[in-house]
């Protein structure tokens, strides 16, 4: 029984002795901390007052329904979107780079041969040559311009009402990571 108590108490005594030796350097540390506190000016940034939120009460009896199809069509007409206007050609054969999302495609280089621009894009570990007119990405992206630092695509996506809308996307040259 005494042996077991000594066996359990030995690590505890060793830990107390080790921690007791750490107290000697505390004065030097406290002096240094006080000196740093005195020489470091406090940095206080002015925080702007929060804006007061004014809730809007939507009176459905006098205002039009914001989710009506007529309202959406009117907004699309003002924005210049024509329903069914520039739908993609679903019968054309798909290119290799159309099976990858744009988040997987990296622009890694640029070539100019006989005055024609060619972009080098990398997907996984393979590098592909891309020219104006090629398709990239899963949203019917068509290359419209190639420069030394970027490739511009025009993608076709469907909006909430089913209309095909063109959007411009840019792939930028990826810098080599250290």
pLDDT top residue among 9 and 156:
156
Nearest to 107 by CA among 79, 91, 90, 128: 128
Sorted by where each begins, the domain ranges of the chain are: 51-178
Tens of pLDDT, residue by residue over 84-131, are 557 788 888 999 999 999 999 999 999 998 888 999 999 999 999 999
Nearest to 147 by CA among 128, 132, 135: 132
What top-level class would CATH report for the domain 51-178? mainly beta
This prediction's pTM: 0.52
Tens of pLDDT, residue by residue over 5-24, are 667 777 777 776 666 666 55
Strands (E), the chain: 105-113, 116-123, 126-130, 135-136, 141-146, 150-158, 164-172
């Amino acid at each position: 029984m005494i042996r077991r108590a000594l066996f359990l108490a030995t690590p505890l005594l060793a830990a107390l002795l080790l921690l007791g030796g750490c107290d000697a350097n505390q004065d030097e540390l406290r002096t240094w901390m006080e000196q740093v506190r005195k020489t470091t000016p406090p940095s206080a940034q002015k925080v702007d007052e929060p804006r007061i939120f004014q809730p809007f009460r939507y009176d459905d009896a006098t205002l039009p329904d914001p989710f009506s199809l007529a309202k959406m069509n009117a907004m699309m007409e003002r924005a210049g979107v024509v329903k069914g206007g520039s739908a993609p050609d679903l019968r054309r054969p798909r290119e290799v780079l159309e099976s990858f999302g744009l988040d997987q495609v990296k622009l890694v280089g640029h070539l100019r041969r006989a005055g024609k621009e060619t972009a080098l894009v990398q997907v996984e570990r393979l590098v592909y040559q891309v020219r104006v007119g090629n398709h990239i990405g899963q949203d019917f992206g068509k290359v419209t311009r190639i420069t030394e630092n970027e490739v511009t695509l025009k993608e076709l996506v469907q909006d909430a009402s089913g209309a095909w809308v063109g959007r411009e996307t840019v792939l930028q040259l990826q810098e080599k990571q250290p």
